[in-house]
Amino acid sequence: MKNFIFQNPTKLVFGKGQISKLTELIPTDVNLMITFGGGSVKKNGVYKQVTASLEGREYIEFWGIEANPKVETLRKAIVLGKEKNINFLLAVGGGSVLDGTKLVAAGIASGKDAWDIVLSGIAETQIPFASVMTVPATGSEMNGGAVISRGETQEKYSFGGDYPRFSILDPEVTYSLSEHQIACGLADAYSHVLEQYLTTPGQSRIMDRWAEGLMLSIIEIAPKIKENLQDYDLMADYMLAATLALNDFIRMGITQDWATHQIGHELTALHGVTHGHSLAIVFPATLRVLREQKQAKLVQYAERIFNITEGSDQARAEKAIEKTEQFYRSLGLTTRLSELNIGNETIEIIAKRFNERGVAFGENRNVTGDVAREILKNCL
């Protein structure tokens, strides 16, 4: 296990009725702006709960943060925040609303252009922010990362910074989610675990077993959720799994991959593919192309997650990859680019972008533009 420093300052406020605690959690002396997406929170009752909890408090609202938050929209929120001397932000919605809010928090605190902050990879200063989470998927509610798109150039990049001061997670707000939203959320959470787990063997028994527990739980609850979208205990497990999958708890002292995410971001930027769906398409192909370097961990994954104990190491690794793709498809997601009418033109654009940037992703820093091309061709 490598040296590490762990700190996660987010207060997690979990369970039914917890939105009512907003008035206690947000300081009374702040200038507050609440950020929203497209309006689903008014349909599912979350907006009413938020405003009821904050009755008598002064605040302003900013609406319209996209499912893949665009810097062009977020610049408008930054301008408004500076005009109104906002010094506390509350994101109400899914991970995209919170990701966008993280950039707004940085833009208000900094004199830099929002896109320059994204390209720098780090928000050096941010005003405080918190969240009411409505779509379990990204883990943004308990980590310091965010992913932002630029519409005019069809680019998408991540940056890091502060963590939310608190995040409220009420599983009952997930009852109104569509089957596709839930499928993408489950795929996102599962893929987050894989990015941290399917790397170098023998690093940490604790990290391995924790990650395996999350994966087994997601596999167990996924079909049950499809049968009953309003089972509180199932949705509670789903919501917490999405948070634990990317809040630093399962990557202490270990190597990480994230190549699939970087390729998936390009599919979202170029074609608007939902993030979790993009991962379901790319991840099995990443594993097929990098099977040799990941084989030892794939064999462990095969045995512990899918109970595959017979055959050669290569055969067991290949079977585990097949099972992974089958799991994504069981969620109701497609796993091939051709199913979305995405072909070689897109593949070459992504390979060119990676090569021009000189990137090399993955735990071994060997996923270049040429390797990304091979992975994407394997997705066809």
Q: Note the pLDDT of residue 180.
A: 96
Domain spans in the chain, listed from the N-terminal domain onward: 11-173, 178-379
Q: Note the pLDDT of residue 259.
A: 98
Q: Note the pLDDT of residue 353.
A: 97
Domain 11-173 matches domain 178-379 at the CATH topology level:
no
- Which of the four pLDDT bands, split at 50, 70 and 90, describes residue 294? very high
Q: Note the pLDDT of residue 169.
A: 98
Q: Note the pLDDT of residue 376.
A: 98
For residue 32, what are the β-bridge partners? 59, 88
Copy the structure tokens of residue 272. 């608007």
Q: Note the pLDDT of residue 265.
A: 97
Quick one: average pLDDT of 324-350? 98
Q: Note the pLDDT of residue 19.
A: 98
Quick one: average pLDDT of 148-157? 96
Check residue 16 and report its DSSP letter. Answer: T
Contacts of 118 (CB under 8 A, 6+ apart): 71, 103, 148, 150, 157, 158, 159
CATH of 178-379 given 3.40.50.720, 1.20.1090.10, 3.30.565.10, 3.30.470.20: 1.20.1090.10
Question: CATH class for domain 11-173?
Answer: alpha beta
Q: Note the pLDDT of residue 271.
A: 97
Contacts of 288 (CB under 8 A, 6+ apart): 321, 378
Q: Note the pLDDT of residue 14.
A: 98
Q: Note the pLDDT of residue 248.
A: 96
Quick one: average pLDDT of 319-338? 98
For residue 349, what are the β-bridge partners? none
- Residues 47-73 have pLDDT tens digits of 999 999 999 999 999 999 999 999 999
Average pLDDT, the chain: 97
Burial class (CB in 10 A: 0-12, 13-18, 19+), 356: exposed
Report the alpha-carbon angle 219-245-351, nearest 5: 95
Q: What percent of the chain has pLDDT over 90?
A: 99
